[in-house]
Structure 1
Amino acid sequence: MGTVAFILQILLGLAFLFFGFNKFGSKMNEEFTRYGYPQWFKIVTGIVELVSGAFLLAGYWNDQLTAWGSLLATLTMLGAVVTHLKVKDAGSKYTVPVVLLLLSALLLYLNSGNL
């Protein structure tokens, strides 16, 4: 894998750790209520994001972890984008999930042979 892909992997790993940890704060309670999801789903989402981020970072040593981390990240962001569309959020509310979806999907594509 090239340098640009490796940098993308590290940046996505850090981003998913950051967003995963944010799910455990009370700030996201209102958002998940607004989405129509139970609060336990916020915790599950946070755990999946933390695992994605950890896999992406650990992928430095194991290419399979990069592939699985990018798959989890892609599916999670697909769910986030669908959720924002479902509640008819303004585009600015789901710009970050769309960007993360596209970057995760690109990383998944680059590592798809390792699944």
Structure 2
Amino acid sequence: MSIITVILQILLGGFFIMTGTKIASGKMADEFKRFGFPSFFNILTGSFEIIGAIGMIVGIWVPIIAVLAGILLGGTMLIAALTLIFIAKDPFKKSVPAIVLCVISVLVIFLNL
């Protein structure tokens, strides 16, 4: 495994632990209401991000876990970007962070195969 792969996994793991915790705690509940999603989506999405983050870190030693975490996080970020564009009708630039995180997650998948 290359040092770049490890760095990407640590960055994704750290980022998603922070955002997943914030989402699961309900601090972003207004954003989910704005999308028209029920309140349990806070816990569901936050849990996906926390599980994916842990998977990214564990995946440093067990690459298949990083692949599975990349699928979970990449899919979550793809849905987030599409939600911002099509449901919330936000400008495209607001979805760029989610798209970048999706691409990095997919990159980690391929680097661990």
Shared fold by TM > 0.5? yes
- Give the letter for the 2:67 counterpart: A
Match of 2:44 in 1: 44
Q: Any gaps of 5 or more consecutive residues in structure 2?
A: none
- Give the letter for the 1:93 counterpart: K
Match of 2:89 in 1: 88
Count of residues in Structure 1 that have an aligned counterpart in Structure 2: 112
Match of 1:109 in 2: 110
Match of 1:66 in 2: 66
Using the aligned pairs only, state the percent identity.
35
Which segments of structure 1 move beyond 3 Å, counting only runs of 4 or more?
none
- Give the letter for the 2:24 counterpart: F
Q: Is the 8 A contact 2:52 2:69 kept in 1?
A: yes
Per-residue CA deviation, residues 20-46 of structure 1 (Å, 9 max, x unaligned), is 001033431110011111110111000
- Give the letter for the 2:89 counterpart: K
- Root-mean-square deviation (CA), in Å? 1.2
CA positional deviation for 1:91? 3.0
- Give the letter for the 1:65 counterpart: I
